[in-house]
């Protein structure tokens, strides 16, 4: 005897099948899921120790030569891609600063933008650009902003060498793990706005000796350079403002980033400034003239992810540009905004 399912019965079966499929998908158990072709990295999120590879671990071959070149570029950037090198096509940086002016001790020092484990984080979602970027793009961001330069081709000898060096620094940090000492530490919240006038006095008393009265840094003494180079104009102490310093698009142009860096390591290695002095001198430095970054307003297209100390509008709140640049940030936090740079109370 032939069984005929009524239209209403068919609808019930379809709805039931859909609900079963939806449940299986949420449990990652649907049979069709096995057809997906992309490889998904499982984030273990396990913490590994901060471990700097020994120089002796660099192989004595072409790969090792590339790593060593990358380290040399990192430490003496001006010699290879600075504004005074003989090959004009290699002038990617518009300042004679070095990568290690921010990433101290060739990127090996923890809590001051150390690079141990950085390579294995990429590709990574970049809130500033609103897209996933690779390690080469991250390096070029530093070149364009902190070095006020232009992007290097990803297939250039210099880019490949820098990537090889950063990869070597991360050999003890497997994909999916992390270290806790990357970046810079969180800093205590200041309950008032940073004061540029007080910051000027801090600068004159505790920063000027190295970075000079006009903020333009101290150039290398030629006799201190062991290897002949195209340019002899690198810095013993980098410029912190003026035409040869980082531009307005750099991370250091944000108050919380600059204050945390200064509080963690300045004066160099002594770390003797108070939290208030660190905020104030960071505000003073960033109040001074420096190269303009014309696309700064395009950063952080998702305003919910925009740092509270981002000095350029638009913003997703009612606070002024001046308050975003200098604080106080307490009122923003009370309205539910967040900052990865502020130490929890």
The residues, any chain, with a CB within 8 Å of residue 94's CB and separated by 6 or more, are: 83, 147, 148, 149, 150, 244, 291
> The pTM is what?
0.83
- d(CA 296, CA 141) in angstroms, rounded, equals 12
* Percent of the chain topping pLDDT 70: 83
Domains of the chain: 46-178 (1.10.760.10), 196-334 (1.10.760.10)
Q: Over the stretch 213-253, which tens digit does the pLDDT of each residue have?
A: 999 998 876 544 343 333 456 888 999 999 999 999 999 99
pLDDT score of 16: 53
Stretch among 69-83, 246-260, 264-278, 284-298 having the lowest mean pLDDT: 264-278
pLDDT score of 236: 86
Q: What are phi and psi of 60, to 5 degrees?
A: -90, 70
- At residue 6 the predicted structure's pLDDT band, cuts being 50, 70 and 90, is low
Report the pLDDT averaged over residues 252-256.
98
- d(CA 96, CA 225) in angstroms, rounded, equals 14
- At residue 25 the predicted structure's pLDDT band, cuts being 50, 70 and 90, is very low
Q: Over the stretch 31-59, which tens digit does the pLDDT of each residue have?
A: 443 333 334 344 556 899 999 999 999 99
pLDDT score of 180: 86
Looking at every residue in the chain, the average pLDDT score rounds to 87
Residue with the larger pLDDT of the pair 344 and 59: 59
- d(CA 213, CA 217) in angstroms, rounded, equals 9
- d(CA 272, CA 179) in angstroms, rounded, equals 26
Whether the CB-CB separation of 93 and 170 falls below 8 Å is answered with no
- At residue 10 the predicted structure's pLDDT band, cuts being 50, 70 and 90, is low
Report the pLDDT averaged over residues 113-119.
96
Stretch among 153-162, 222-231, 273-282 having the lowest mean pLDDT: 222-231
3-state secondary structure string across 322-338: HHHHHCCCHHHHHCCCC
Whether the CB-CB separation of 253 and 286 falls below 8 Å is answered with yes
pLDDT score of 19: 52
């Amino acid at each position: 005897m032939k069984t005929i399912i009524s239209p209403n019965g068919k609808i019930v079966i379809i709805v039931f099948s859909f609900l079963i499929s939806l449940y299986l998908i949420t449990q990652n158990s649907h049979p069709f899921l096995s057809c997906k072709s992309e490889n998904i990295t499982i984030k273990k999120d396990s913490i590994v120790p901060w471990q700097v590879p020994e120089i002796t671990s660099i192989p004595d071959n072409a790969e090792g030569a590339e790593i060593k070149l990358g380290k040399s570029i990192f430490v003496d950037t001006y010699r290879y891609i600075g504004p005074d090198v003989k090959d004009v096509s290699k002038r990617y940086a518009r300042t004679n600063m070095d990568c290690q002016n921010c990433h101290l001790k060739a990127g090996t020092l923890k809590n001051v933008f150390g690079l141990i484990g950085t390579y294995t984080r990429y590709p990574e979602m970049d809130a500033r650009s609103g897209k996933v970027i690779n390690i080469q793009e991250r390096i070029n961001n530093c070149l364009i902003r902190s070095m006020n330069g232009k992007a290097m081709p990803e297939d250039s000898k210099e880019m490949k060498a820098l990537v090889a060096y950063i990869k070597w620094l991360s050999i003890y940090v497997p994909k999916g793990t992390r270290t806790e000492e990357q970046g810079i530490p969180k800093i205590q919240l200041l309950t008032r706005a940073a004061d540029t006038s007080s910051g000027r006095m801090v600068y004159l008393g505790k920063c000027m000796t190295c970075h000079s009265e006009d903020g333009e840094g101290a150039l290398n003494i030629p006799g201190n350079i062991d290897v002949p180079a195209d340019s002899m104009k690198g810095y013993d102490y980098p410029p912190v403002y003026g035409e040869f310093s980082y531009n307005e698009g750099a991370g250091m142009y944000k108050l919380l980033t600059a204050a945390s860096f200064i509080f963690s390591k300045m004066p160099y290695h002594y770390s003797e400034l108070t939290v208030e002095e660190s905020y104030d001198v960071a505000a003073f430095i960033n109040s001074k003239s420096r190269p303009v970054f014309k696309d700064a307003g395009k950063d952080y297209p998702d305003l919910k992810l925009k740092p509270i100390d981002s000095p350029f509008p638009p913003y997703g709140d009612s606070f002024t540009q001046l308050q975003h640049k200098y604080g106080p940030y307490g009122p923003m936090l009370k309205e539910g905004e967040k900052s990865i740079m502020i130490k929890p109370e």
